[in-house]
Amino acid sequence: MATKDATVVDLQKKFEESNAVLLTEYRGLSVGQMRELRNGIREHASYAVAKNTLTKLAANKAGITELDEHFTGPTAVAFIDGDPVAVAKGLRDFAKANPQLVVKGGYFDGNPLSADEVKKLADLESREVLLAKAAAAMKAKLFSAAYMFSAPALGLARAAGALRDKKEQSDQ
């Protein structure tokens, strides 16, 4: 009984501290495949297998009741402490090579996710790519603004130069 209580407390802590949680069914995966999956998402998440009743109890204690329907069959949980998009991509890519892995759903930013929404999350570009695109867009806007502010002065300088050239020609 003490072991079960400790497991629930540990899982509850993981639910509370995670950025997001993704639930998968791993029926039919070998130990080697599970190790490969864990290694593939290790940078951004931990992947845990526990009894559904204990995992459901821990999720409920953490205030997450929207996932209750997914705690059937062999369920493993990816507790994400890094980039949720990277983990969703890792699970999607692993599932392509190993169709036994099925993404059931998840929980992100206070909202439950369906399996289709997890797939959409996996289709997003990574945080770094999105930040790079935003930075490039801001840089382009800054160059545009700088050109807009310098254009009148440049036009005035050209006009003054043309007047000076015209005056020099008329003096000759």
Question: pLDDT tens for residues 29-83?
Answer: 889 999 999 999 999 999 989 899 999 999 999 999 898 898 888 899 999 998 8
Longest dimension (CA), the chain: 107
* 97 in the same domain as 28: yes
* 95 in the same domain as 15: yes
* 132 in the same domain as 110: no
**Model confidence at 13: pLDDT above 90:** yes
Q: Hunting for tokens 């770094």 — which residue is that? A: 128
* 86 in the same domain as 8: yes
Residue 63 CB partners (closer than 8 Å, separation 6+)? none
Confidence band for 145, pLDDT divided at 50, 70 and 90: low
Q: Is 167 helix (H, G, I), strand (E, B) or coil?
A: helix
Which tokens is 18 given? 């995670």
* 113 in the same domain as 50: yes
Percentage of the residues of the chain whose pLDDT score is greater than 90: 41
Q: Which DSSP category does 125 fall into?
A: P
**pLDDT given at position 147:** 66
**pLDDT given at position 22:** 94
**pLDDT given at position 1:** 64
Q: Is 45 helix (H, G, I), strand (E, B) or coil?
A: strand
Q: Is 155 helix (H, G, I), strand (E, B) or coil?
A: helix
Confidence band for 137, pLDDT divided at 50, 70 and 90: confident
Q: Is the pTM of this model over 0.85?
A: no
Containing domain of residue 49, as a range?
2-124
* 103 in the same domain as 42: yes
Instruction: Give the chain's domain count.
Output: 2
Ramachandran region, residue 119 (left: φ > 0; alpha: ψ -120 to 50; beta: rest): alpha
Query: H helices then E strands: how many in the chain?
Result: 6, 5
